[in-house]
Structure 1
Amino acid sequence: MGFPNIMRVEAEGRRGGIWLCWDARIVTLEPVSACFQHLTVKVKCASVSPWLLTAVYASPRQEFQHFLWQAIHRTREEHDFPWLLTGDFNAIRSPSEQAGRSSTAILRRCKRFNDRIDHAELIDLGYSGPRFTWTRGEPPNDYKASRLDRSLCNPAWNVTFPNTSVHHLPRLHSDHHPVLTEIGNKGVNLSSPRPFRFEGAWLTHDSYGTFLQDKWESQAPLQEALTRMAVDFAEWNKNTFGNVLQKKKRLLSRINGIQTRIANEFSPGLFKLQAKLERELDEVLEQEEIIWYQRAREKWVQLGERNTAYFHQQALIRRRRNKIASLKANNGEWVSDPQELVALVFDFFASLYLQDDHEYTDDMPKQAFPRIQQEDLLALLRRFTAADIYQAVQDMKPYQAPGPDGFQAVFYQKSWQVVGKALTDMAMSFFSTGILPEEVVESTVVLIPKVDHQEMASHLRPISLNNVCLKAITKAITNRLKPIMRKLVSPRQSSFIPGRQTTDNIIVLQEVVRSLRRKKGKKGGGPS
């Protein structure tokens, strides 16, 4: 294989056997621990700090896997290096990771494996390529397949090597697919310029309010003012706000130096300086938390509880999950070239949304729908006001994904005294004329995975990200419709009304079927 250096765990009969091969001119490996199911080494190279690698070949027997995870927990407790675990774990995380039907026993094994991963605080790095890594037999009768091989990492690895990607390579003379784990960046990257994004952390800076007041062009149309403001914010971020991580590192270093001096000499001035720097550090830590909260899109954990590390991990996991490294084309071949991937996805959705010419006929019976009462009609026709627009903006989630202009709702919510009039004027103009500027209705179309691991273009769902100024209009209309929706939507419909879900109908139908099965029919017959 071209690797002059080898470390191995010998097989015990037909059980186990791990070979680790490397080139000592590039990396240095130091043994840490080993048994018949794993081999753990410390990896050193010139370009990065040391990290741990655990090569895994787990036993298919559960009683032996217990010893493997005991060793993994010991390694976790004894070392805090970035850590990568890769190999055959002989376990799956969900029934979707194997071909065939599920069962209670399979669900129990999946839960046990997931619990072990969670208790060890490890992260599944996902994959691109074929879903299964082990196959045996021929379909339809003898075919078996599972995702037994995977790469896991600890949070330190996720931060140190955020661009790690895992690829299931073609299988040739083995029942296992080779699994390639790349530390470098891999995925669709066409070197497009990074779009502007408003940073919520800017709101915490002392000069933010004054800067916005000075730069905001109140006489310009909204989108024109936002475009110019984006340029000003980028310059202000570079020259005034600064790099949060660098500020944090610098403050920690200064505080450490002051505390070292205080240990050797008493000086009231040093105590005052330490207190001042600690206040600055608290502000920087708050800014760092907001930055990662904004990127994590986390719904269930509140901002302001110093969950920076958690938000950071969630942002990295989300970024990796949404990255498209390869897709399967219609001919069954895997495409990984960025230009070819773009063409593949574009062609798929272009053909999907082509419409055949047909004549639409409105044959729905009008009498089947409820009619709006006069008092409700008057409420709907009431003129929109500035208060309606303000309430619509305040009702929005602050950090939802922005549209093409890069401004999230939090910008308007926290800066309403300065920018609110421009947004209100634009909305009032629309309600008077029914016309919106073209740049307002622009949207960014992004692809999100419909499944845990996308393999084909059909596994991706396009969604449109609209500007907040457009969403403010639709939100105001929605707020106007809410009070009468219960009068217009039948109780048997499960959508459109808060508190109702589409799945309610499924649950009701299942209960009806279950009730019919339990009901005794006449002799010789089924349920009536």
Structure 2
Amino acid sequence: MNGHKGEATFTYVGCTKDARKELWNRCQQVNSPWLVGGDFNCIISTTEKSGGRTPNLAKMNTFRDNIHRAGLFDLGFKGPNFTWKRGSIWERLDRMLVNDAWFNYFLLSFVTHLSLAGLDHRPILMSITSTDNYSSPSPLDISTCGLHILHIIAKALRGWSWNTFGNVHATVQKVEGEVKALENGGLLGIEEEKKLLIAHNNVLSAIDYKEKFLKQKEAMNIFTNGDRNTRFFNAYIKYKRKCNTIHAIQNVNGQWLHNNNDIANDAICFYKELLNQEHNLRPHIEKAHFMEELNYTVVLKLTDIPTEKEIWNAISSIDSTKSAGPNGFTAEFYKKSWKIFKTDVIVVVTSFFQGNNLPNYFCSSTTVLIPKSEIQKNW
């Protein structure tokens, strides 16, 4: 497709443990784009079964671990939840798995479960579109206002980062090439040995920068510092990008929309109508029913202006890797720059507790619709 080629493996896995073991022993990681699909005779979670006996937890965990060990990702699906039926038992036994290289060229790959047609398994439709023909839609920007000083700092930091580290991916390839060139130069003298040692150190530094960059970008905390999972991070970023993109949606009339502009316009219409609906006024609540709770909250003095120590304690309690907004400044930034921003932050917090109107950049926001499930049917 558009000059890009990939490999596809279609399989039927037996129900026995030995048959499954033989399959995964043959499923070695492939560097080229690779798709593995078929009847795996196993499920990943309890949500993939309805009726019958409780699924075997150990069997599901083994299946999930084998998928991860082979470097594969489940493409998900659209349509009915289950692909196999026997009596009152329904299960999702059929699925399509791909490796990280597949996402480089075929990010827009969709799996649809079709209707049963005389068999106990549903037919599966695989739709593949090259990323060369796709342009990602922009988020729904309600406002682009932001804190001016942070905007200036962000711009300066981006420039500093590029001038200092450059393209981390290209840097790793460059320094690795320098090491290979020195190693292939034959016998090395003292000066060449020094150069080779420096080149080795440059490789380690470049890899360290690249891993830190990828860890920050994919925002995962499940690995400890020092774990070498660069390939996994790259694959996870691509997989998360696919999952967070709304490729198709069903409007209120039951019609499926696939065009980016149609999806964006339908989202705007849906949420405009939703947010403009008249809400039924709730009946008046007597305060007398909550006097005990009211007295408790009064003792807490929640409306009192917090002290500098209380504000600092609140900031310190935030996970250092978390960001409060789309500007990308994490809690760690505020912690390490507290002496610089302390006065401004205290003034803003104090102003809020005094009842003053909030600045525009506190009230503005950017709305990004992120699917929370594999089955994306409607808003």
TM bracket (short chain): 0.7 to 0.9
1:70, 1:169 → 2: CA distance? Answer: 27
Q: What corresponds to 1:123 in structure 2?
A: 73
* Cα shift at 1:235: 3.5
* Cα shift at 1:246: 0.9
Q: What corresponds to 1:200 in structure 2?
A: none
| CA distances 1:171-196 after superposition (whole Å, capped 9, x unpaired) | 697851322244537888225799xx
Alignment of 1:453 onto 2:371: no
| CA distances 1:237-293 after superposition (whole Å, capped 9, x unpaired) | 4444311111111111112222223xx223222232233333333332222222222
Summarize the Cα distance change of 1:414–1:183 in structure 2 as closer, same or farther, 3 Å threshold: farther
- Aligned positions of 1:266-345 closer than 5 A: 266-345=188-267
Alignment of 1:154 onto 2:99: yes
SS in 2 for 1:275: helix
Which of 108, 112, 117 does residue 168 from structure 1 map onto?
112
2:324, 2:258 → 1: CA distance? Answer: 29
SS in 2 for 1:54: strand
Summarize the Cα distance change of 1:234–1:366 in structure 2 as closer, same or farther, 3 Å threshold: same
Answer yes or no: is the 8 Å Cα contact 2:46–2:55 preserved in 1: no
* Cα shift at 1:62: 1.2
Gaps of 5+ in 1: 1-25, 27-44, 195-221, 458-528
1:440, 1:144 → 2: CA distance? Answer: 52
- Aligned positions of 1:231-242 closer than 5 A: 231-242=155-166
Which of 96, 121, 133 does residue 47 from structure 2 map onto?
96
Answer yes or no: is the 8 Å Cα contact 1:327–1:456 preserved in 2: yes
Q: TM-score if structure 1 supplies the norm length?
A: 0.59
* Cα shift at 1:73: 2.0
Q: Write the letter of the residue equivalent to 1:232.
A: A
Q: What corresponds to 1:62 in structure 2?
A: 15
SS in 2 for 1:104: coil
Which of 26, 40, 45 does residue 74 from structure 1 map onto?
26
Answer yes or no: is the 8 Å Cα contact 2:113–2:123 preserved in 1: no
| CA distances 1:74-96 after superposition (whole Å, capped 9, x unpaired) | 2417x654432123445443343
2:116, 2:15 → 1: CA distance? Answer: 29
* Cα shift at 1:439: 1.0
Answer yes or no: is the 8 Å Cα contact 1:95–1:102 preserved in 2: no
| CA distances 1:407-426 after superposition (whole Å, capped 9, x unpaired) | 22232233334444433333
Q: Write the letter of the residue equivalent to 1:53.
A: A
- Aligned positions of 1:221-260 closer than 5 A: 223-260=147-184
* Cα shift at 1:119: 5.0
Alignment of 1:180 onto 2:130: no
Alignment of 1:439 onto 2:367: no
Which of 35, 38, 43 does residue 84 from structure 1 map onto?
35
Alignment of 1:265 onto 2:187: yes
Q: TM-score if structure 2 supplies the norm length?
A: 0.79
2:280, 2:140 → 1: CA distance? Answer: 41
- Aligned positions of 1:385-464 closer than 5 A: 385-432=307-354, 434-457=356-379
* Cα shift at 1:324: 1.2
Summarize the Cα distance change of 1:173–1:384 in structure 2 as closer, same or farther, 3 Å threshold: closer
1:117, 1:277 → 2: CA distance? Answer: 37
- Aligned positions of 1:457-472 closer than 5 A: 457=379
Answer yes or no: is the 8 Å Cα contact 1:55–1:86 preserved in 2: yes
* Cα shift at 1:333: 2.9
1:252, 1:52 → 2: CA distance? Answer: 29
Identical-pair percentage:
23
Q: What corresponds to 1:370 in structure 2?
A: 293
Answer yes or no: is the 8 Å Cα contact 1:69–1:116 preserved in 2: no
1:104, 1:173 → 2: CA distance? Answer: 27
Q: Write the letter of the residue equivalent to 1:62.
A: C
SS in 1 for 2:37: strand
| CA distances 1:467-496 after superposition (whole Å, capped 9, x unpaired) | xxxxxxxxxxxxxxxxxxxxxxxxxxxxxx
1:173, 1:373 → 2: CA distance? Answer: 64
* Cα shift at 1:393: 2.4
2:147, 2:263 → 1: CA distance? Answer: 33
The structure whose RCO (Cα within 8 Å, separation 6+) is larger is 2
Summarize the Cα distance change of 1:62–1:360 in structure 2 as closer, same or farther, 3 Å threshold: closer
Q: Write the letter of the residue equivalent to 2:178.
A: R
* Cα shift at 1:375: 9.8
